[in-house]
Structure 1
Amino acid sequence: MFINRDQELIALENRYNSGEAEFVILYGRRRVGKTELLKRFCEEKKHIYVLADLSSEKDQLEIFSRAVYDATKESFLRTSPFSTWDAVFEYLGGLCKDERLIVVIDEFPYLVASNPALPSIIQRFWDEKWRNTKIFLILCGSYISVMERETLGYKSPLYGRRTGQILLEPMDFQDASLFFPRYSITEKIVAYSIVGGTPAYLEQFSDRISIWQNIRERILRKDQFLYDEVRFILMEELKEPKNYFSILRAIAFGKTRLNEIVQESGLQRGMVANYLDVLQNLRIVERRIPITEEKPHKSRKGIYKLKDNFFRFYFRFIYPYKGYIEAGNTDLLLNDIIRPSMRQFLGPIFEDVCHELLIRLNWEGRLPFRFDRIGFWWERNEEVDIVAYNQENRAFLFGECKWRNKPVGINILEDLKRKVEIIKKQIAVADEYYVLLSKSGFTASLKNVAHEGKLILIDIRKIG
């Protein structure tokens, strides 16, 4: 199933129509949809698509030769495949001298593993020959650290040669929800909180059955794709995975500050800090700081969050309880551990969904002012879910997101205003508005207050 990715397709189409030689780096985590995006882009265009693997250089050259034959039907390639990369690239240069040709090398890091000199060879051909042709070269890969080092890094021979790059991220809630047209908006949020925005994970869930049936049948069964997916990915990406697993489990259980992670994991502080850097580079973990901090990179208030919802679900409910599944106690795990914890689990993800909604409303001009920054605020035991503001006119929007089964009342607004007074001691506020987002609507008294102005109420059940 191919859904959305319109921005990326438009970016690729614009470069395809430029008439100039193009060299694009496309990278992102596994299962995020890179190959499907490239296949959709290449439809009805002259192209050569090569999927590299972990075989020897000789085998890789034969794979490349077959791909060139499939595109050109040159008979000599069936009996005399290319024996060197120079021969391959020389031939490609001739093919695209006067005609647009897309050349996709998927899983490029595997090719580099077979011959570490490949980036230098490609650099030579780009500088001396390809840049004056109509080639559209796309190097694609799933190992983010390797792709950045071998294609984007300052020390890479390919540094400065690319004409564009696309880091393909998991889908946001709005796009991910398109996988579940039969679900209600709240069911879509719950599904998104579990499988996140990775297309391959979204495809595992079916909106023809309940969320709980999906968890039982598509995650908690040992023969299912999602059951061990996270472990497989991390085993491929990381050395010393057991230490990373301890850190990710700690974060999933709410230990988000560095000291808390150190204590929970039992690892040395310096080691944890280094591991967190690696996880951030892999886009598995992100560091958040209060939006009011003037020097974010130096802030001591930073907390760590798992970026991927399914990774968070896995380390919260699967990894620590594999013994239940191995022993056949799936229903016990689902009913006694997962179900009672889902409201607390969902809260932070609902906040992210609300941020996404406000960004969309802001872009559409449907808020009292246009903000250019949005984030969170916390200090000691106080938190505000939404702080958005315009840096020029200092107009602020403060908000709370409530995922609970009863309507939000005036007490929530009053508590928010109390916390805003603390924020105003830290940062200049010229004008202020409030927004409350709720899963279960609002009390009549709060609706009356909203009619007086400067308060926006959003019932999440009524959004499109």
Structure 2
Amino acid sequence: MHLPKPADMFDRTWEWTQLTRFVLDEQPGASLGIVSGRRRQGKTFLLEALCEATGGFYYAATEVLSRAEALRQLGDAMGRHVGSPGTIRFADWDEAIDALLALGNDRPAPVVLDEFPYLVHGTHELPSLIQRALSPRRRERLRSRARILLCGSSISFMGNLLMGNAPLRGRAALEMIVPTFDFRAAREFWGVDDPRLAALVYLIVGGTPAYKSEFLRGVVPASVADFDDWVIEHVLSPASPLFREVRALLAEDPTLRDTGAYHTVLAAVAEGNCTRGSIASRIERKATDISHHLTVLADAGLLTVEPDAFRQNRSAYRITEPLVRFYHSVMRPMYAQLEQVRPGRTERIWKGAQPRFRSAVAGPVFEHMCRTWTHDMAADETLGGMAIRVLSGVVHDPASRNSHEVDLVSFDPDGNLLAIGEAKWGDVVGMAHLERMEKIAAILKARDQEPKVITLFSGTGFMPALEEAAAKSGGRVQLVDLERLYAGE
């Protein structure tokens, strides 16, 4: 059975299909699903729409709930849902869970417990109680077709519900992470036609839908010429919700207890320190002292750890959310000054921050966009095969004893090297860039790792000589500008 996607839901077709397939399953017996994803991605919107479309039950927990208060609020929500003439009160969570299961006695029905980590904060044994209630041969479970969905914004917490020896391991029939929009979907969501303007907006706010729909109430820069004014008024202004958003993101995650330390680590990464050792050196700590912080930030979805394409046992940490990178590169160093609003001050701060914005924000985020294009959007014919892994890496030249950084390295399913590439946001790319990549290709050829294709990306354009060389290369040299990045293969 299929439920049409709500008319006011942008994108999320795959997520909607998975959720409706799960909740409409006619198989007997209650089942469990886990939904997670960083805040502001539209999880609540999805689940509320699902319950509205199916007549399901939705309950969102609130922060710092005691066990008694959580049960009281749940009983009130249950009473409203079933239209009870009196007050529903649960003596304990065992009774409450059985009541939730009973909502599916007559038909398959979603039962959503949103902000689930708040409930566990007040009742640590709640996952074990749900496990017991969903025992395979338990009568209450067998006669129910409730589709219980536990949802939370702490990716690490929600993921750990099903890991190792966790009580709910092996119980979930659905585990779904709601991602941010990629740069193409973000452009469509923001309604920006100009690819350069779309890229500029993405460099700051990324693909988080709530930043447009809730934080900025749909305010979009009208043109590239209007972009600076938009940043000054809607991102760098203390009156804008985006101004304190990054602080809120860390404060709201229950796994991030010492937020000051985590901000310090993120700031070091935003400055370009990508290895564990360089991050530790920047903040004057031992590498072992920050291992926990790096792991927690990665589990929370704020950092990603990417292996080097060519060097074993070497990896790089990257910030996943553009706004977090923008905050630590542009806003945090001048936060006190930005808070003290004075005529013309924010304009001067933004003007002075342009070098940092280009190097620490635009460059790395643009590289990420290019890796996304290579992995998800480029045709197999463009790269000489299907790109399964797209990484960055460092190639050592034994002849000159120099090392060369490569922004994009793509591999096929068998681990064969397909393409190497370079991405430049602010440079007009010319023959010198191609010659550098050809030199790296020659080094790799000597190792029997010759790339089939060289890809050159630019947010500014290409010199005529390079365009001519690419046209004569028979497809070996691929040039990708913003037009192709957003619309081509």
With normalisation by structure 1, the TM-score equals 0.90
Q: Match for residue 220 of structure 2?
A: 207
Helix, strand or coil at the partner of 2:134: helix
Q: CA deviation at 1:395?
A: 5.4
Please say which of residues 207-216 and 261-270 is displaced more in the overlay: 207-216
Percentage of pairs with the same residue: 28
Alpha-carbon separation, structure 2, partners of 1:130 and 1:336: 62
The 10-residue stretch of structure 1 (246-255 or 99-108) with the greater mean CA deviation from structure 2 = 246-255
Q: Tell me the CA shift for residue 85 of structure 1.
A: 2.2
Aligned residues: 453
Q: Cα 1:213–1:57, aligned 2, differ >3 Å: closer, same or farther?
A: same
Question: 2:315 maps to which residue?
Answer: 302
The alpha carbon displacement at 1:425 in A equals 4.2
* Contact kept? 1:292, 1:426, Cα under 8 Å: no
Distance in 1, Cα, partners of 2:158 & 2:394: 35
Equivalent positions of 1:271-310 (< 5 A) are 271-293=289-311, 295=312, 299=313, 301-310=314-323
Give the aligned partner of residue 152 of structure 2. 141
Task: Find out whether 1:104 has 2:112 as its counterpart.
Answer: yes
**1:175 partnered with 2:185:** yes
Structure 1 residue 107, shift from structure 2 partner: 0.7
> Which 10-residue stretch deviates more, 243-252 or 308-317?
243-252
Q: Using the TM superposition, give the Cα deviation of residue 105 of structure 1 relative to its aligned residue in structure 2, in angstroms.
A: 0.1
**What secondary structure, in the 3-state scheme, does the structure 1 residue paired with 2:337 have?**
helix
Match of 2:125 among 117, 129, 135: 117
Aligned to 1:33: 42
Shift of 1:159: 1.6
Q: Give the structure 1 partner of residue 232 of structure 2.
A: 216
* Cα distance, 1:226 vs structure 2: 1.3
Cα offset for 1:308? 1.0
Deviation string 1:329-374 (CA, Å, 9 cap, x unpaired) is 322211112x333322311211111122222334676553223322
Deviations 1:44-94 (A, max 9, x none): 20200011112322222222122222322132xx33433322322223333
5+ residue gaps in structure 2? 1-7, 396-401
| Worse-superposed segment, 388-397 or 21-30 | 388-397
Q: 2 CA distance for matches of 1:394 and 1:29?
A: 34
How far did 1:419 drift? Answer: 1.4
Task: Name the stretch that deviates more: 101-110 or 347-356.
Answer: 347-356
Instruction: Rate the CA distance shift 1:409–1:131 in 2: closer, same or farther, 3 A.
Output: farther
Per mean C-alpha deviation after superposition, the further-off stretch among 36-45 and 97-106 is 36-45
Deviation for aligned residue 1:123: 1.2
Distance in 2 separating the partners of 1:159 and 1:136: 17
Q: Partner of 1:456 in structure 2?
A: 478
Q: Does 1:17 align with 2:24?
A: yes
Gap change, CA 1:229 and 1:220, over 3 Å in 2: same
TM-score normalised over the length of structure 2 = 0.86
**Equivalent residue for 2:398?**
none
Work out whether 1:192 is the aligned partner of 2:202: yes
- 1:87 paired with 2:95, answer yes
Q: Cα gap change, 1:285/1:105 in structure 2, threshold over 3 Å: closer, same or farther?
A: same
SS in 2 for 1:228: helix
Residue 433 of structure 1, aligned match among 453, 458, 462:
453
Distance 1:22 1:287, change over 3 A: same
RMSD of aligned C-alpha atoms? 2.3
1:372 corresponds to which residue? 388
| The one of 439, 443, 461 aligned to 1:418 | 439
CA distance in 2, matches of 1:55, 1:395: 53
